[in-house]
Each structure stands twice: as C-alpha cells, then as structure tokens.
Structure 1
Amino acid sequence: MMGNRRLLLVCLLIALEATSLAGHLIGSQNDLDKNDDGFVKLVSFAECVYNRISNDLFFSKILSNADATKQVVEGLLFRCDFEMSRTVCRKKDHVGNLRDCELQPEGPLRQTFKCHIEVWERLWLQDTRIQNFHCQDEINPDDKESFPDGAAPSSCRFLR
C-alpha cells in the first residue's frame, strides 16, 4: 500500500515538473503570440462585438498594440487588452472591410478607448460567452462604457 502511494506521489511530482519546465502551470494564464490564430480571432471578435454593441455612429477599429492571454478553465478563457479608435467610416454605410477605413483626424471626432474583454469558449458546446467587456476613454477617464456579459452578437463569430 505504501509503495502505491509513493509511486503516485512520484508520478505527480514528475507531471508537475514537466509542466513547469514547459513554462506553464496547469490552469495558469499564458500569453498569446500575436501571430497565433487564437490571438487574431480574439482581436477580430472583440472589434466586431464593440462595433455591434456601441451606439457610436462611426465604426471603430483596434490599434495594433493589443495583448492577450489564454487560460484553460472548463474550456478556454481568453483575455485581451487593446485600444480602439474611431474611424471616418459611418455604420450606416455598411463598410465591407474595416481595414480600409482611416482613423478620424485629430479633432473633436477623434476618440480612442482602452478596452478589456474576457471571452469564455467551450468548443464541445459550441458556446462563446463574453465574461467582461469594458472600455475607457483615454482623454476623459471618467467616460467609461461597459457592455453586458453573456452571449456574443450572432453576427460576431469566434469559434475555431
């Protein structure tokens, strides 16, 4: 009996060492590489959700300085911090590719937000939930916008 417990303990220690040698502990947050497919989809998803939910007359797009992490928690929990900036493209004009929209020039219509989104993905259920999404104006920090948690707009797809 004592031999089985020692064997189990040794196996657990080896598994723990192997995961820490790989640089990741089970359940820990891990940075997503900007070239990772999950990172690209997360940023596009966040941009889509923001533009569908905000009441702004103009589309906004994510600036290039986004950071994201991934964590295994009964599925995958993605977290992303990014900056959004208002473009010159109006939502009523149904723009085909947001990348073709220029940012607003300096002036009263120029607005940039620091945003944070958390997305919980459970592939086996084909379920993607927004756990937390809020943005804060860089110039007027008291100007904050929070979006409701829950299911993402159906037009914004994240599932991989």
Structure 2
Amino acid sequence: MSCRSNCVTDINANDPEVQAALKFAMKEYNKGSSDQYLYVVVDVISVQGQVVEGMKYFLTVKIAKTLCRKNSNVSGCSAISNSPMAKTYECTFVVWSRPWLNDMQLEGHQCHQLHSQPRTI
C-alpha cells in the first residue's frame, strides 16, 4: 500500500517550495523574537513534508544570531561566531503551505539553545 496523503516523507532541502517555506518560517521567527538582532539558518538538519490540504513542512534547522538589527535586510547578514554574543539554536518549524491561495502559515516552532564547545586558549 502506498502513501498518498497524511504520510510524512523526507523532502530535498533544495526544493524551491521548501526554500520558500524556510524563508517564511525565519521571517516569522525573527518578527516574533524578543531579540533585537536577526537570526539566520546555518544548517538544514532535516526536511519532511505531509500532504494535507496543501503541504505541511516540518523543517529542522540550526539557526544563529547575527549582528544585523531587526530593521535590516537579512540577505547580507552572517552568523556570529567566536564571540560571547554568539547564540545557536536547533529549531523545528511547522509551516502549512497552500500555494493556490498564496497562503503560508507558521503553525508552530520549537527551539532549544545549543551549547558551543569550550574554546582552548
């Protein structure tokens, strides 16, 4: 028996629709964050999709803080590293996409801070 709907399957992270969902998730995350700086994706851990009325994406990514303030354009921002200000999180975003309605919704997200490896001096 094949899985036609309601099954969760792995999806290529480079798929244009996945990239659009990830961009949307990060825009919503940054908008809702209390931090004055933007966060960017530094690694895609896994991407899964579920066919519902549209597509539900489950995006697990590593995000990191930048030095760009929230009112900046995120496209030129890179993650902070080797600084006391550096913060990295692993987050799972759930994005529901209905392209025929030009509609995307962030249904939820869960993040936990990753602790960096101790640096040797």
Same fold (TM over 0.5): yes
Q: Give how far 1:60 is off.
A: 0.7
Counterpart of 1:30 in structure 2: which amino acid?
A: T
Does the residue aligned with 1:33 lie in a helix, a strand or coil?
Answer: coil
What corresponds to 1:53 in structure 2? Answer: 32
Distance 1:126 1:44, change over 3 A: closer
Higher helix share: 1
Q: Give how far 1:95 is off.
A: 2.2
* Bigger relative contact order (CA 8 A; separation at least 6): 2
What corresponds to 2:92 in structure 1? Answer: 116
Rounded to whole Å, the distance in 2 between the matches of 1:123 and 1:44 is 15
What corresponds to 1:37 in structure 2? Answer: 16
Contact 2:40 2:78 in 1 (8 A): no
Which aligned segments of 4 or more residues in structure 1 are displaced greater than 6 angstroms? none
Counterpart of 2:106 (choices 109, 130, 135) is 130
Count, aligned residues: 115
Task: Summarize the alignment of residues 10-159 of structure 1 with structure 2, pairs less than 5 Å apart.
Answer: 16=1, 20=2, 25-27=3-5, 28-91=7-70, 94-96=71-73, 98-139=74-115
Q: Give how far 1:99 is off.
A: 3.5
Does the residue aligned with 1:69 lie in a helix, a strand or coil?
Answer: strand
Does the residue aligned with 1:45 lie in a helix, a strand or coil?
Answer: helix
Q: Give how far 1:123 is off.
A: 4.0
Higher Rg: 1
What corresponds to 1:152 in structure 2? Answer: none
Rounded to whole Å, the distance in 2 between the matches of 1:90 and 1:37 is 27
TM-score normalised by the chain length of structure 1: 0.63
Q: Give how far 1:124 is off.
A: 4.8
Does the residue aligned with 1:64 lie in a helix, a strand or coil?
Answer: strand
Q: Which runs of 5+ in 1 are unaligned?
A: 1-15, 141-160
Percent of pairs with identical residues: 26
Q: Deviations over 1:48-68 (max 9, x none)?
A: 111111011111100133421
TM-score normalised by the chain length of structure 2: 0.81
